[in-house]
Structure 1
Amino acid sequence: MRKWWFETLENFPKNKEFEENIWDAFVEKLNEDPPNFGHAVVLIKEVKESLLSVLLPQHKYLKSQIEEVLDLDLIQQKLENDAFDIYYYSDYVIGIMGKLCAPARDDRIARLKEMKDVVPLFKEIFEFIANLSVVPYNVDITTKNMEIYLMIFIDKEAGIDGLELTKQWLTRSFEKLRPGGVTPREGATQANMTTPAAILNGAYMELLQWDTSKIFPETLVLDQSRFLDLREQTQHLTLVTSVLLVTYNTVGQSIAGVQSLKVKLKEEICTLLEGVEDGNLESVLENISEQVNKNVEVFLKEHGFPAHDETQQKTLKGQITTLKEKDNQIITLMSKRVLDFIQQALFSKLTEPLKVPAGTSVMEKELSQICGQFLRLISHNRSVFGQYYANIIGTLLKRLQEDLSPADAVS
């Protein structure tokens, strides 16, 4: 069955008066005493179906989340029990649109978040979603802007290269993958690792460990804040799982396998990490170690285990605070597991869910969100600048072929 809302509008494509009458009817319902939100539920249903229609195959987690939050039966129950909050749902929808849209629309998303008048807000939401599927238009506009950028900043006579940083970025990935650079992944040979896709994906992975003393590549600078935010989220996820691993290994059998404690610790650690930057990590780890010790002691007391003495508490605190060191073995281990998982997602055909790495199950939701946002960002970036990347990588691979002997050359 066709969606009644859009079907009605399609039947009257030039009748703006009819369309306004629909919204006027919505206003009348909201102005009743008490407000009648029945019409809003119908609109939410249409919004839900529209959002699902623009999702890509890899958006499995996002699709599941939309189905859960915009559960129409649950919404109807809330409506019947006077527990319906229309702004909760509009805020959620706007958040989803912000994840799906191109970065150029961030300002419009910000304006939507500030709107409080329900009817104009929903009108804007419908218009926004209707334009979400117009991806080629956004790509063409961004590509055209990039061409203008290159025309301004490339001056061959003066030796100015507008893609110098992009070339350096891709070359670093190439150098890691070329014969002798790294150990091949399981089931791969050194030669077939050095492919255009592997080089580009390797370069994208560097963004999650970006050295902030470096300038961002030209083709990524517009999304710099987004990538750095994902870098921070990845580091925080690594730290949380590292603290939990240290805690459970140090305390031992008395808390082994206790998921409820792990969830509680995770939530409190995440709260303490909010807004924390690398430079303040040492002080926040002190607070985290104190909070973890406190929760462990409460758990031991409630479940009849002997309390830890001062030495045992100091040991746990010391193990946690040493996580500030970048060469800490636990941090290194968990970082590798997290980054390997994200890299698997890049190469995966997404025909089946990836298994979350050991020690990260409590952060599965957060890890899935990071993966989804990362894949969406690089997908858009690749669609806009793919030809530039292909040209640069082609030159690198040609150089590799010339350097290798015929027997070793990459086919």
Structure 2
Amino acid sequence: MMERDSAGFFFVDALSLCQTSGRPYHLEKRFLHNVNYQTTTTTLQAAEIKRQAFLEARRQKLNQKFLQVTRVVKENQARKENRHLLFLRSLELAESKRNHHLEQRRSASKKSVERAKIIALQHHRKYQAEREQLRRHLEERLEKTNTRRLHLLKLPKSSLLKTHKMREKEETKTMSKTSTTTVPSPEKQRKQSWLTLLQAFRDLGLPNPLHRDTWQEFGPLGDLLRKPQVIIITSKILNVALRKTDKECSRKRARVLLTAYMILMCPAEVLQDAEGAQEQQLRTVAKETLENFESWLQLHDDSAGLTAKRSFQDSWRNFYQQFEAWRTKDHDALVNNVFDYCIELLQLKTLLAENDDPSPMMQVEQQLSEVKSRLRQIGGQSALDRLAVAEQNLDQGSVSEDGPSSTPRSPDKIDKTVNPEEFTKLLSSYAPYMSSAITNEQLVHELILDPEFKLQKYRPRSDLEDRVKTMATKAFFDKIAEEYDRGDWQTSIAPLLQDVREQLVALVRPGTAVHSSICETLDINLLEQQSSKNIFDIDKTLTYIGTIMSHICAPVRDEVIHELPHLETMDRLHRILEILEDMTLDLANYRLRALRPHLMPIAVEYEQSKFAEKMGKGDLPNTTQWIAESFKRLYDAAAGRDPEGILPPKQCNPSLDDTFEEAMISLIMSPDLITVDTCPETLVMDRQRLLDYQNQAQAVTMVAALLMLAKNVNTSKSAELHSLSDKLFLLLEDHSTTVDHLAAEIDAAVAVRDESRLMMRSMVDKTLSHSDSLYSLLSRRVGSVLKSYIHSSGEFVTPAILTSYGLEYVDKPLKSLCRSVLALVLHHRQVYNTYYRQIIRNISVGS
């Protein structure tokens, strides 16, 4: 209620407006005391529906997100696969381009060869026409000369003199005109040069090996052959025959050929044993060589000259090898004779030392000085060193002259003429030292092919076998120690000392002071008596044994022998037995080295006889197939170079040496392993050696291919590639090496990026495949270098050729392989040449 006061203000009564405040509107809905139950239930259901709708929306959103991620992953995988397919297509395209390029080069080479053959045929026809024209011209001149001679016979002498002078003037004018107007062609110059050289050789007056009436005696023939002009002209003729250009060895070859005249015509004066088997064979080969040489000189300009030249080259190689073997034997015999003479003078000097008269001693010393000078000339410094060791042994007595040193202190002399029974017995004595069973024939074969061949001590093949051996040895010596402690001397120490005594006696020469000392001191009966009276001192006996061993052992054993006094008794006895086994092996290896020079002259004949005994009259199927395949390859290649069929089939037949070299190279470069069933019968003893050569050839090819790959990826310095080459060879020697190891080494050497490592690994794997064109190309080039080295008898290709072949960084391993293969080829030519020649004779075409 509102009122107005006196002042004119209005008043409102607010008491009626006061009431209790209610809850806020947004909170009022939460309280259900004024809401019925049905309304509440409807609200909860709506909330649940909203909640389910929210969860479903969330679930759909997550599902859409998952589908989106899956799609992105698939797109990324598809892009990777596309890139991989693109990379593979790029590799295939590169491979096809490379093959296309190689095919183009091959086609171009074929066309060049065909064109060269046409040009060669044209030159041949032109040469034949020129020869025919020259022949007609000579016939006309002869006819005119004959007519003029008949006419002049009817004239008086005064007219003859005038006519002769006039004719000389006319010929002089004609020659001057011809010389100023005509220039001979290179072919004519070459022919004229050869005719001049041949005429100079004929003017030397050498005897004709085909006519015995021209042969000379030893004195006049020797004087003739020693003339410098004879040696110079013969060397030039021989260089033409052998296609040699080196001037350093030409005179040596000429002297060897001239020696063939002496061997053929004066065998009694030249050969020490003219009736010996080696000397008879040498004389036969010398005769064959000279006859082929004379035939080639006569047929040089004819079509048969090429065949005669090949025959001479074959016989020359055979003669040169046998001459070198004979010369080595003769040289060794001369050195041994001079050495023995020096020993006799030294002994005489020792006897004259007690004489008061100095004059004989001075004469002996002067003679000894002259003989030493002669020994140095023919034997070199090694012969003087050997003499110095022998002189020292003479000064010290006989203690140190019986045992082997690094080169044993006193060499055992082997008879120069060894009969077959003694030879077989001698070889059989070395067989027990081999780690596996070996025949005498195999031992001889290894000695000839490997100058460094040594008998090896047997070693356990596995860790288990090594542990078993160590445990058995320890148990044996523990038992020996127990028995010795119990006083059982007979079953413990006696057998071991008897074994030590026998080995020491075998190491010294009978009849010497050392031999007598060992027999007396290590008398088993005496030691048994000492043991029965309890006065036997085993340490003193072992000390004596160690002293003797230090006198007769090689210097390489000194260190281990000096350690013996510091060991326990049984350990010392065990070590003594081991060292004696090594010393016995040293002596056996030394005797083999001493046997080798005397074995060389008879090794070929020995192997031939053994092979004939083993094979009997049976055929050689594997060898025949092996030689026939090589013969067919060479024949087809020769026939392919003559598609017009100008040459007769017989002239396409390869020679024996070419066929054998091709067969050996194809065997070594073959990717197939040489098994026992497929190995040629003549190479059975060399099967493991050939497998090693195969591994070496494959290693050289692989390293060359990998280096070419590394060089293409990143051009590196020569020193870095040489270092990489050495590392790759070391990796290939390890059997656990994989492609990943090789790829990792190349990655480190050429700094390959991380993203390119997978590609590099794939390229390395592809390059090492035998079917890869790069590997096949390098393999053929390695075989070509091998064949060239064998064909030239030891002349390695030039660095320029190696660089063009891509083999400049593997030159040392390749040269080592060439030397090994050449030694095997030369030996097999001598031993089995008869069998190979018969096989080729049976399969020759047009013969």
Equivalent of residue 271 in structure 1, options 730, 741, 763: 730
Query: CA separation in 1, counterparts of 2:745 and 2:602?
Result: 51
Instruction: Indicate whether 1:22 and 2:396 are aligned.
Output: no
Question: CA 1:109/1:19 → structure 2, altered by over 3 Å: closer, same or farther?
Answer: same
Question: CA 1:99/1:317 → structure 2, altered by over 3 Å: closer, same or farther?
Answer: farther
Instruction: Indicate whether 1:118 and 2:584 are aligned.
Output: no
Q: Which residue of 2 aligns with 1:209?
A: 669
Higher relative contact order (CA 8 A, sep 6+): 1
Q: Which residue of 1 aligns with 2:840?
A: 393
Q: Which residue of 2 aligns with 1:238?
A: 701
Aligned-residue identity in percent: 18
Query: CA separation in 1, counterparts of 2:450 and 2:668?
Result: 22
Equivalent of residue 454 in structure 2, options 109, 112, 118: 109
Query: CA separation in 2, counterparts of 1:175 and 1:118?
Result: 55
Cα deviation for residue 138 of structure 1 reads 1.4
Cα deviation for residue 195 of structure 1 reads 1.7
Query: CA separation in 2, counterparts of 1:199 and 1:10?
Result: 49
Q: Which residue of 2 aligns with 1:135?
A: 600
Instruction: Indicate whether 1:292 and 2:746 are aligned.
Output: yes
User: What's the secondary structure of 1:110's corresponding residue?
Assistant: coil
Equivalent of residue 777 in structure 2, options 333, 347, 362: 333
Query: CA separation in 1, counterparts of 2:761 and 2:732?
Result: 17
Deviations 1:138-158 (A, max 9, x none): 11111111111122xx4xxxx
Cα deviation for residue 328 of structure 1 reads 0.9
Whether the 8 Å contact between 1:140 and 1:384 is mirrored in structure 2 is yes
Query: CA separation in 1, counterparts of 2:761 and 2:773?
Result: 16
Q: Which residue of 2 aligns with 1:379?
A: 826
Whether the 8 Å contact between 1:242 and 1:334 is mirrored in structure 2 is yes
Cα deviation for residue 313 of structure 1 reads 3.0
Write the mapping of 1:85-104 to structure 2, written as runs, cut at 5 A.
101-102=447-448
The structure with the larger Rg is 2
Write the mapping of 1:6-405 to structure 2, written as runs, cut at 5 A.
7-12=338-343, 22=393, 101-102=447-448, 109-111=454-456, 117-118=553-554, 127-133=591-597, 134-151=599-616, 154=617, 161-179=618-636, 191=651, 194-210=654-670, 211-212=672-673, 215-252=678-715, 255=716, 258-276=717-735, 284-297=738-751, 308-350=752-794, 353-356=796-799, 357-358=802-803, 359-397=806-844, 400-401=845-846
Cα deviation for residue 111 of structure 1 reads 3.8
Q: Which residue of 2 aligns with 1:405?
A: none
Cα deviation for residue 275 of structure 1 reads 4.5
Cα deviation for residue 22 of structure 1 reads 2.3
Query: CA separation in 2, counterparts of 1:23 and 1:131?
Result: 24
Whether the 8 Å contact between 1:99 and 1:373 is mirrored in structure 2 is no
Query: CA separation in 1, counterparts of 2:704 and 2:654?
Result: 32
Cα deviation for residue 339 of structure 1 reads 0.7
User: What's the secondary structure of 1:248's corresponding residue?
Assistant: helix
Whether the 8 Å contact between 1:238 and 1:335 is mirrored in structure 2 is yes
Question: CA 1:377/1:261 → structure 2, altered by over 3 Å: closer, same or farther?
Answer: same
Q: Which residue of 2 aligns with 1:65?
A: none
Output the amino acid matched with 1:22. N
Whether the 8 Å contact between 1:250 and 1:316 is mirrored in structure 2 is no
Unaligned runs of 5+ in 2: 1-331, 348-388, 412-443, 460-506, 508-548, 556-582
Question: CA 1:24/1:192 → structure 2, altered by over 3 Å: closer, same or farther?
Answer: farther
The farther-off stretch of 125-134 and 141-150 is 125-134
User: What's the secondary structure of 2:454's corresponding residue?
Assistant: helix
Deviations 1:171-196 (A, max 9, x none): 010111114578569xxx99456222
Query: CA separation in 2, counterparts of 1:334 and 1:24?
Result: 61
Q: TM-score, structure 2 length as denominator?
A: 0.32
Cα deviation for residue 236 of structure 1 reads 0.4
Whether the 8 Å contact between 1:323 and 1:331 is mirrored in structure 2 is yes
Q: Which residue of 2 aligns with 1:53?
A: none
User: What's the secondary structure of 1:379's corresponding residue?
Assistant: helix
The farther-off stretch of 126-135 and 365-374 is 126-135
Query: CA separation in 2, counterparts of 1:146 and 1:296?
Result: 53
Deviations 1:75-95 (A, max 9, x none): xxxxxxxxxxxxxxxxxxxxx
Question: CA 1:244/1:21 → structure 2, altered by over 3 Å: closer, same or farther?
Answer: same
Q: TM-score, structure 1 length as denominator?
A: 0.62
Deviations 1:165-219 (A, max 9, x none): 111110010111114578569xxx9945622221111111122134226610101
User: What's the secondary structure of 1:101's corresponding residue?
Assistant: helix
Cα deviation for residue 231 of structure 1 reads 0.9
